[in-house]
Amino acid sequence: MKQRIPIQRRIRAGKDFATVLPALLFLGLFVYYPVVQVVRISFTNWNLINDNYSYVGLKNWVWLFQGSGTKYLINSFKVTALFTLGELSITIIGGMIFAVILNRITTSFSVMRALIFLPKYIAMSSAAVVFIWILNTQNGILNFLLAQFGKAPVNWLGDKNRALFSILMLTGWRTVGYGMMIYIAAMRGISKNYYEAASIDGATKWQQFTQITIPILSPTTLFLFVTTFISAMKVFQSVDVMTAGGPYRSTEVIVYMIYKYAMEDFRMDRASTIAVVFFLVLLAITAATMKISNKRVNYDA
Amino acid sequence: MKKMLLLTAALLLVTGLVFAAGASETKTASTAPAISYEVTEPITIEWWHALEQQYWPLVDEIVGEFNATNPLITVEAKYIGNYATVNENLVAAHAAGSGLPALTVANTPYVAEYGKGGLTEDLTPYIKATGYDIDDFGEGMIAATSYEGKQVTLPFLISTQVIYYNKTMADKEGITIPSQITDMDAFMKKASKLNSDGTTDRWAIIIPGWDQWYFEPMYLNSGVKIVNDDRVSTDLAGPISADLTKKFQNWVSQGYTYWASGTSASSNMRQNFVDQKTFSVIHTSSLYNLYKGLIGDKFELGMAWLPAGKTKISEIGGSVLLIPAKNDQKTKNAAWVFLQYLIGKDVNMKWADGTGYIPTRNSVLSSEEGAQFLQRKPAFKAIFDNLDEINPRIQHAGWNQLATIWKSYLDQIMIEGADVDTNLGMMADEINEVLADSE
């Protein structure tokens, strides 16, 4: 038999819903509506300029998965995955190393921490312009320093095997301090009792680090992993300023690919198709990460 | 979580099925043009430009003069960024239908896309209604600024491809810029200096690979049809194109030249020329003043026409002016008044003197004013002697996509030494698909 919900509870539920309604409307208007529009545009031939367009069925999808778009999509996913792997490694491993080294409460260490964290405050576009000049083949300071050791100049941004690495230099310079600060904050929350007990049991510093620090920091690592993963997958500005996707598409990450088709080639239809695929991939990977992490992350600390 | 995923998937599926059916739909059509082109009441309008900081005093002077002499119209000049940034902002504002400038510059290759997409106001009725004389522009300029017979834009700051060379070095070593592509081999050997270990001490010329506009005339003059007459295919994988591409590749591998590609390629190339690490460079005539300033007294700057093949044409570069079609008629009328002023003969000469752009008016080019201009900038004789050879750019809605693909493959061929025939074949397949899909 169906139970009747008391009127007071219904009113309370209605009030609760009313409080979240503005946020839902905002989300619907500025998040879900554009997503639906992007999906719709992927089935049209809209070029962004023309007011008129037609629905073309699966034409753009066929171009992306069975036409000339396939190899560029695969290339961009490969480039994006490599970049993401690089940024994740720098942020998590680099951040952890710096956190362990600089986790001291003295003025000199505070200054060093500030110096490492400072680049995070510099606008990416400005930093990218500076790095273009640092990495300039002929007049860059990096090649000048290499020349002092008798090394030939390196084409940092013009060589397809080095260009992505060069962008990662900038990324690492900006993000390693962020990873460090997050880890230091988390490390200071770990009770000293764990380490004292481990010392009494004869555990070495390394054993304490691997058996206590790393497991207890796993929620922090998960946080850094998810946030860095999403931001790295969506990298655009540094690529746009430093290489414009080149040389010959070797740094063409997914978001830059979408931008190029939409804004330079006037193919909003194709850009939307790539955007939908990218959205689904991001959604699937994030969901999978959350599911896997539920079993492996230790929230006991 | 599972429910959310299912909900999202269902939403995407339903949306996809609804719109995948091949139905046809159009957005609201633009409003019909008004009849009057008069400015009858005070109005403030915005002009978007791409003139960098060194030109702002000139912009202020020219806009200030207009504002002083036109009490009903106040113009606010706004620097947006380079041509690509102007394009992004303009297209976004057009799609949104708001935030449009009254008047804007646009790089010449965008004319076809903008014209086809209805972004630009057709200026033909304005020209007729106000009796504006556009015949004083050369035929090439008129063709370059119109789309399918409609005058969708008008010439503003016009440039073309040229070779800048070190005249002091040329006189001293007896080097001349070849007039024919077939003479390029001999020129490359004579003008370059190679070290005993095979490295290059001085390049003969630097070829800009970052923009296909610079090497395009060499292909066109050799007889390559970049877009065939059928408008859906390219001849870029044909034997003439392959031969020329192999020539370029050979010059690069020999160390006579390098293929300047990437984000710093333009500034590096300029610096190499100033540092006399290269005898010459291919660049736009609009940078004449900049080169002059950078070189100073180091050496004399020469300017030459690109080597010819079957023909000796070059292509129009620089920018045009356009009025966005979605503006209201009052704004369009004010913009039309300001546009006429900006491209007027006197103001055009100010632009030509203050920048490196070419005077656009026939009445200037073939008159005493033209002669005086040449006295001030003698290197421009190379352009004045070939004015009839400056042609409009290829107009095709898929042009930007074609250019991206072409540049990318040539980069690979020149920098990696990839096989020419194989790569040009793959490139042509991609370009043909793009052309067919865009036409």
ipTM for the whole complex: 0.80
Distance CA B293, CA B54 (A): 12
Q: From residue B153, give the alpha-carbon distance in Å to each of A238, B228, B320.
A: 34, 25, 6
Element spanning A255, H or E: helix A254-259
Q: What is the mean pLDDT of residues B343-348?
A: 88
Nearest to B27 among A52, A267, A291 (CB): A52
Q: CA triplet B338, B339, B340: central angle to 5 degrees?
A: 90
Q: Which residue of A has its CA nearest to B426?
A: A68
Nearest to A54 among B24, B264, B434 (CB): B24
Inspect the interface and report whether the beta carbons of B19 and A40 lie closer than 8 Å: yes
Q: How far is B352 from chain A (nearest CA, A)?
A: 29
Residues 6+ positions from B15 with CB-CB distance below 8 Å: A36, A39, A40
B430 touches chain A (CB under 8 A): yes
Q: Which residue has the tokens 């016009």?
A: B158
Nearest to B29 among A51, A264, A280 (CB): A51
Domain ranges of chain B: 44-159+317-380, 161-316+393-438
The two structure tokens encoding residue B91: 């297209």
pLDDT of residue B191: 97
Q: How far is A45 from chain B (nearest CA, A)?
A: 10
pLDDT of residue A1: 52
* pLDDT of residue B13 exceeding 50: no
Residues B65-78: b if buried by 16+ CB within 10 A, e if exposed: ebbeeeeebebebe
Q: What is the mean pLDDT of residues B370-396?
A: 87
Inspect the interface and report whether the beta carbons of A138 and B20 lie closer than 8 Å: no
Which amino acid, one-letter code, is at B346? D
Compute, in degrees rounded to 10, the torsion defined by CA atoms B226, B417, B190, B356: 50
B44-159+317-380 and B161-316+393-438 share one CATH topology? yes
Inspect the interface and report whether the beta carbons of B401 and A50 lie closer than 8 Å: no
pLDDT of residue A104: 85
Q: Which residues of B touch A276 (CB under 8 A)?
A: 12
Helix A107-117 × helix A163-187 angle, to 10°: 140
Inspect the interface and report whether the beta carbons of A68 and B116 lie closer than 8 Å: no
Inspect the interface and report whether the beta carbons of B117 and A276 lie closer than 8 Å: no
B439 touches chain A (CB under 8 A): no
Out of 3.30.1360.120, 2.60.15.10, 1.10.3720.10, 2.40.30.10, select the CATH number for domain A71-296: 1.10.3720.10
pLDDT of residue A213: 92
B residues 46-105 lying closer than 8 A (beta carbon) to A: 84, 87-88, 91, 94-95
Nearest to A56 among B22, B401, B433 (CB): B22
Q: Which residues of A touch B95 (CB under 8 A)?
A: 48-49
Compute, in degrees rounded to 10, the torsion defined by CA atoms A22, A25, A30, A33: 180
B residues 387-426 lying closer than 8 A (beta carbon) to A: 397, 400-401, 404, 408-409, 411-412, 415-416
Query: How would you classify the pairing of strands B200-208 and B257-260?
Result: parallel
Q: How far is A33 from chain B (nearest CA, A)?
A: 11
B299 touches chain A (CB under 8 A): no
Inspect the interface and report whether the beta carbons of A50 and B25 lie closer than 8 Å: no
Contact (CB, 8 A) for B11 and A280: no
Q: Which residues of B touch A287 (CB under 8 A)?
A: 1, 5
pLDDT of residue B28: 43
Q: Which residues of A touch B434 (CB under 8 A)?
A: 68
What is the per-residue pLDDT across B81-101, written as a single tens digit (0 to 9) for each? 999 899 999 999 998 889 999
pLDDT of residue A299: 62
Please give the interface size between A and B, counted as residue pairs whose CB atoms are below 8 Å apart. 128
Nearest to A51 among B113, B118, B272 (CB): B118
Q: Which residue of A has its CA nearest to B118?
A: A50
Nearest to B424 by CA among B412, B436, B437: B412
Percent of chain B whose predicted confidence (pLDDT) is above 90: 63
Q: What is the DSSP letter of A54?
A: E
Q: Which residues of A touch B432 (CB under 8 A)?
A: none
Inspect the interface and report whether the beta carbons of A51 and B26 lie closer than 8 Å: yes
B8 touches chain A (CB under 8 A): yes
Element spanning A53, H or E: strand A52-54
Distance CA B50, CA B365 (A): 25
Q: Which residue of A has its CA nearest to B9?
A: A280
Distance CA B165, CA B376 (A): 18
Inspect the interface and report whether the beta carbons of A68 and B429 lie closer than 8 Å: yes
Inspect the interface and report whether the beta carbons of B95 and A48 lie closer than 8 Å: yes
Distance CA B342, CA B349 (A): 10
Q: Which residue has the tokens 């390693």?
A: A176
Nearest to B28 among A47, A51, A137 (CB): A51
Q: Which residues of B touch A48 (CB under 8 A)?
A: 91, 95, 117
Nearest to A173 by CA among A226, A240, A231, A120: A120
Q: What is the DSSP letter of A250?
A: T
Please, is A21 exposed, middle or buried when counting C-beta atoms within 10 Å of its C-beta (0-12, 13-18, 19+)? exposed
Q: What is the mean pLDDT of chain B?
A: 89
Q: What is the CATH number of domain B161-316+393-438?
A: 3.40.190.10
CATH topology of domain B44-159+317-380: D-Maltodextrin-Binding Protein; domain 2 (3.40.190)
Q: Answer left, alpha or beta for residue B79, where phi above 0 means left and psi between -120 and 50 means alpha.
A: beta
Between B106 and B370, the higher pLDDT residue = B106
Q: How far is A63 from chain B (nearest CA, A)?
A: 10
Q: What is the mean pLDDT of residues B121-138?
A: 89
Between B75 and B392, the higher pLDDT residue = B75
Q: What is the mean pLDDT of residues B334-343?
A: 95
Inspect the interface and report whether the beta carbons of A53 and B25 lie closer than 8 Å: yes
3-state secondary structure chain B: CHHHHHHHHHHHHHHHHHHCCCCEEECCCCCCCCCCCCCCCCEEEEEEECCCHHHHHHHHHHHHHHHHHCCCEEEEEEECCCHHHHHHHHHHHHHHCCCCCCEEEEEHHHHHHHHHHCCECCCHHHHHHHCCCCCCECHHHHHHCCECCECCCEEEEEEEEEEEEEHHHHHHHCCCCCCEHHHHHHHHHHHCEECCCCCEEEEEEEEECCCCCCCHHHHHHHCCCCCCCCCCCCCCCCHHHHHHHHHHHHHHHHCCEEEECCCCHHHHHHHHHHCCCEEEEEEEHHHHHHHHHHHCCCCCEEEECCCECCCCCEEEEEEEEECECCCCHHHHHHHHHHHHHHCCHHHHHHHHHHCCCECCEHHHHCCHHHHHHHHHCHHHHHHHCCHHHEECCCCCCCHHHHHHHHHHHHHHHHHHCCCHHHHHHHHHHHHHHHHHHHC
pLDDT of residue B135: 85
Inspect the interface and report whether the beta carbons of A241 and B27 lie closer than 8 Å: no
B17 touches chain A (CB under 8 A): no
Distance CA B377, CA B394 (A): 29
The two structure tokens encoding residue B176: 């001349």
* Per-residue confidence band for B34, with pLDDT thresholds at 50, 70 and 90: low
* Per-residue confidence band for B29, with pLDDT thresholds at 50, 70 and 90: very low
Which amino acid, one-letter code, is at B133? D
Phi, psi dihedral angles at B79 (to 5 degrees): -80, 125
Distance CA A154, CA A140 (A): 10
Low pLDDT (below 50) residues in chain A: none
pLDDT of residue B32: 53
Distance CA A301, CA B366 (A): 85
Residues 6+ positions from B180 with CB-CB distance below 8 Å: B307, B308, B309
Contact (CB, 8 A) for A114 and A161: no
Percent of chain B whose predicted confidence (pLDDT) is above 70: 92
* Per-residue confidence band for B17, with pLDDT thresholds at 50, 70 and 90: very low
Inspect the interface and report whether the beta carbons of B5 and A138 lie closer than 8 Å: no
Q: Cβ atoms within 10 A of the Cβ of A103, count?
A: 15
Q: Which residues of B touch A166 (CB under 8 A)?
A: none
Distance CA B102, CA B287 (A): 28
B248 touches chain A (CB under 8 A): no
B261 touches chain A (CB under 8 A): yes
Q: What is the mean pLDDT of residues B252-256?
A: 96
Q: How far is A32 from chain B (nearest CA, A)?
A: 10
Domain ranges of chain A: 71-296
Q: Which residue of B has its CA nearest to A259?
A: B88
Contact (CB, 8 A) for B28 and A52: no
The two structure tokens encoding residue A128: 């990218």
Q: How far is B394 from chain A (nearest CA, A)?
A: 15
Q: How far is A107 from chain B (nearest CA, A)?
A: 41
pLDDT of residue B358: 87
